[in-house]
Amino acid sequence: MWCQIYECLYFCGAEEYSVETQQKVLQHILERNQISREVAAAKGVPLLDLFAALDTERLADFRQDFFDVLHPRPAAYQKIAAAIYEGMGIMPPASP
The DSSP annotation for 3-48 comes to HHHHTT--SBTTBPP-HHHHHHHHHHHHHHHHHHHHHHHHHT----
CA distance 26 to 71: 12
Most confident of 1-5, 21-25, 29-33, 64-68: 29-33
Reported as a pLDDT band with limits 50, 70 and 90, residue 4 is very low
For the segment 36-77, what is each residue's pLDDT rounded down to a tens digit? 999 999 999 989 988 888 888 887 877 788 887 778 889 899
pTM of the model: 0.65
Domain limits of the chain?
17-88
Mean pLDDT of 10-29: 74
pLDDT, averaged across the chain: 79
